[in-house]
A and B are shown apart, each in its own frame.
Chain A
Amino acid sequence: DAGITQSPRHKVTETGTPVTLRCHQTENHRYMYWYRQDPGHGLRLIHYSYGVKDTDKGEVSDGYSVSRSKTEDFLLTLESATSSQTSVYFCAISEGGGGTDTQYFGPGTRLTVL
């Protein structure tokens, strides 16, 4: 399995509080991604990074920000959490950004916003 860890694995927080999720990789892959998955649905891309300090928005980026100060870490921040952000968050990595570059996923973080 690809060396991807996510922390925390579970979090319960209240509306309006800031939340930061961490993705850590040991593969030295250039690309990192954050997805969210809501019950019964597929994954939706929030943000991704194509290098240190290089990030771009995905399809559902509103309310989220990201940072990547080191190759191995990609942080997802909810500045002021809302109940609509209750979801399971998956981090993924890939060596490159091309169509032949397989994405490998972390175990997920289950976030509940009350």
Chain B
Amino acid sequence: DAKTTQPTSMDCAEGRAANLPCNHSTISGNEYVYWYRQIHSQGPQYIIHGLKNNETNEMASLIITEDRKSSTLILPHATLRDTAVYYCIVRVRTNAGKSTFGDGTTLTVKP
């Protein structure tokens, strides 16, 4: 599976959009981009995933560049409860067992 690179930490003001970048320059055509978050040592929580089109759900939006080498997770109106570690991973279509979680981005939402 392709490796991902994320900033170690980011801050965001409450009520503003949080934009979390992820670089996956070695991604291959059959790999999906997934985002999870982990709040204070709880189990990771699924947020969103995509292949090449932008995706939106009730939690967030995922913007994938046309060359698929990077993506951005957008939390449109960050709240204090969004403070967490955010993981960007890429997964082969038929090999879920080989998912690799890197160190993620610690997002701190400030009042």
Q: What are the interface flags for B37-63 relative to A under an 8 Å C-beta threshold, 1 for contact and 0 otherwise? A: 000011111100101000000000000
Q: What is the interface of chain B, defined by CB distance below 8 A to chain A?
A: 30-32, 34, 36, 41-46, 49, 51, 87, 91-104
Chosen A-B contacts, 12 in total, with CB atoms closer than 8 Å, are A4-B43, A41-B103, A42-B100, A42-B101, A48-B96, A88-B41, A94-B96, A97-B94, A98-B96, A99-B93, A106-B43, A108-B41
Write the chain B residue with the least CB distance to A97: B96
A107 to B101 alpha-carbon distance, docked (Å): 17
Q: What are the interface flags for A1-30 relative to B under an 8 Å C-beta threshold, 1 for contact and 0 otherwise? A: 000100000000000000000000000000
A42 to B34 alpha-carbon distance, docked (Å): 14
User: How many residues of A are in contact with the other chain, CB < 8 A?
Assistant: 32
Least distance between B87 CB and chain A CB atoms (Å) = 6
Known: A42-B102, A44-B101. A108 touches B43 (CB 8 A): yes
For A88, the chain B residues whose CB sits under 8 A away are 41
Least distance between B47 CB and chain A CB atoms (Å) = 10
Known: A104-B46, A108-B41, A108-B43. A97 touches B103 (CB 8 A): no
Write the chain B residue with the least CB distance to A43: B101
A94 to B95 alpha-carbon distance, docked (Å): 12
A31 close to B42 (CB less than 8 A): no
For B97, the chain A residues whose CB sits under 8 A away are 31, 33, 45, 48, 50, 56, 58, 97
Known: A42-B104, A44-B101, A99-B32. A107 touches B96 (CB 8 A): no
